[in-house]
Amino acid sequence: MAEEEEKEVTLLGTWSSPFVLRVKWALRIKGVEYNYVEEDLRNKSPLLLQHNPVHKKVPVLVHKGRAIAESSVILHYIDEVWPLRPLLPHHPYEKAMARFWCKFEADKLSPPLWRVLTTRAEEQREAQASSIESLGLLENELEGKKFFGGQTIGLVDVWLGALAYIIPIYEEITGLKLVDQSKLPRLCGWMEEFLSSPAVEGTLPPKDMLLPRYAAMREAFLAKAKGPAQQ
Amino acid sequence: MAEVVVLLDLWVSPFGQRCRIALAEKGVAYEYKEEYKEEDWTNKSPLLLQSNPVHKKVPVLIHDGKPVCESLIIVQYIYEVWSDGAPLLPADPYARAQARFWGDFVDKKIYECGTRLWKLKGEAQQEAKKELIEILKLLQAELGDKKYFGGDAFGYVDIALVPFCAWFYTYKACGGLSVEAEVPKLAAWGRRCMERESVAKTLYDPLKVYEFVCHLKKKYGIE
């Protein structure tokens, strides 16, 4: 008990959430020790509801008793409070570009990827095409760089990083190719580099738990789309 | 060496207005370029397509030839480059996080819900009205008795939200939502913001915004 109280940082999360992982990676890069609390989102704890009353979601970072929610807000906060090994570039223009690519992922990549997982036929093919188009723009961004942050992992790498393990799972479940090595070689390389980096090692949710989870989500969405009359 | 600043925008866009307000707060001279001539959304200038190839949308700030896209990213950029004078965000990291959180909340919720309110009819519209009232109430609670969301200083959350004040008349006329009645403190905050020159000279007459929306509805056959 006393040992937990010594760490003044607590992270509320779930084992499978890629948003939570972003925060874990950032804290690891910064060398920040923290308590981790696993939440059950079907049965939200009073702690979660107290610390994130607006969205009632994870991740939530609690630092010295004060809560910060939303992964992008948390990442900026972590970068400001623990400034060594910065995630954000220094120059305002580079900062703006980093923020741009994070927003791009949320607006233009995440939604079609989700549709690849949760739809079929024509809709799924369109989602695949849309995802690949967005991935192509990220491929271009990696030109001449090991990571989106340059030589070292930065904000955009932490933001996009979950794709490195989620995309192969989606590909396996749906049988559709998203990151073709011959077409997106830099992105392929980045995925390998990122997953094998010290910040990420040992943090990933186990594939044998994650794959059935996403497969079940796909089944559930497809069943719902069919409608009750056809079940 | 003089800096060249260009803003590609649409007069009625609340996102563009955020940028205009930030530029005015900082006293930055810039060239304003109106996009979508004759309200043709496909009529995008070569400069827009070149500056924002990913989204092909306004606003875009072009600073010495380098484009910055996404309104809240542009606002942060403006304050980081022209850093003299009042800051955009508080100094304390926790307070900054709160400001970013609420700016993100405004960005995710207001435009989408407000659009459903004026666009839809019947039950869907009533649902949107209920949701928007909840959203505005949360914002009013966050504002509390402060002069601005930033406290005494006009800042990030104020800039993110204030352009939507010009849409309050439209919310009432199209959707029956009276901001004054539902969230009077927030309405009062809107009026206080309008006393700032940067806001007053940027926001359009709410009647003009309403005319624009009616025109759009007719154009898309929504009655």
Q: What is the pLDDT of residues A138-164, one digit of tens each?
A: 999 999 999 999 999 999 999 999 999
Is residue B197 scored above 70 in pLDDT?
A: yes
Q: So what's the ipTM on this one?
A: 0.95
Q: Assign A228 a pLDDT band (cuts: 50, 70, 90).
A: low
CA dihedral B54, B60, B63, B64 (to 10 degrees): 60
**DSSP state, residue A48:** H
Question: Do the chains contact at B94 and A92, CB–CB below 8 Å?
Answer: no
pLDDT for B43:
84
Residue type, B34: E
Residue A15 phi/psi, 5° resolution?
Answer: -65, -30
- Would the pLDDT of A229 be above 70? no
At which residue do the structure tokens 């839809």 appear? Answer: B120
In A, minimum Cα distance to B80 occurs at A92
- For residue B186, give every residue at least 6 positions away whose Cβ sits within 8 Å of its Cβ, in sequence order, or none: B136, B139, B140, B143, B179
Spatial separation of the C-alpha atoms in residues B95 and B109, rounded to whole Å: 21
pLDDT for A75 equals 98
Residue of A68, A79, A91, A133 best to disrupt the B interface, most CBs of B under 10 A: A68
Question: Is the confidence at residue A124, as pLDDT, over 90?
Answer: yes
Q: How far is A51 from chain B (nearest CA, A)?
A: 12
Mean pLDDT of all residues belonging to chain B? 95
Which residue in this structure is represented by tokens 């407000």?
A: B114
**Does residue B93 surpass a pLDDT of 90?**
yes
Preceding omega of A112 cis (within 30 degrees of 0): no
Q: How far apart are CA A199 and CA A215, in angstroms?
A: 28
Partner B contacted by A96 (CB < 8 A): yes
A103–chain B nearest CA distance, Å: 8
A26-40 pLDDT, tens digit per residue, is 999 999 999 999 999
Band (pLDDT 50/70/90 cuts) for residue A5 is very low
* Amino acid code (one letter) for B119: K
| CA pair distance B76, B72, nearest whole angstrom | 6
Burial (0-12, 13-18, 19+ Cβ within 10 Å), B176: exposed
pLDDT reported for residue B42? 80
Does residue A231 carry a pLDDT above 90?
no
Look at residue B222 and tell me whether its pLDDT is greater than 90: no
- How sure is the predictor about A88, in pLDDT bands with cuts at 50, 70 and 90? very high
Dihedral angle of Cα A205, A206, A208, A213, to the nearest 10 degrees: -10
Residue range A209-223: average pLDDT? Answer: 97
Handedness of CA B161, B166, B170, B172 (dihedral sign): positive
A100 vs B: CB within 8 A:
yes
Report the share of chain A in percent with pLDDT over 70.
95
Residue A94, chain B, CB below 8 Å: the answer is no
Mapping DSSP to helix (H, G, I), strand (E, B) and coil, where does residue A184 land?
A: coil
Residue A171 and residue A158: Cα distance in Å, rounded? 21
CA B69 to each of CA A125, B80, B83: distance values in angstroms, whole numbers, following the listed order: 29, 15, 19
Nearest CA-CA partner of A100 in A113, A88, A86, A111 = A88
- To test the contact with chain B by mutation, choose from A70, A74, A133 the residue with the greatest count of B C-beta atoms within 10 A, namely A70
How many angstroms separate the Cα of B220 from the Cα of each of B151, B196, B207, B215? 42, 36, 20, 9
Q: Write down how long chain A is.
A: 231
For range A214-219, the mean pLDDT? 97
Mean pLDDT of A73-86: 97
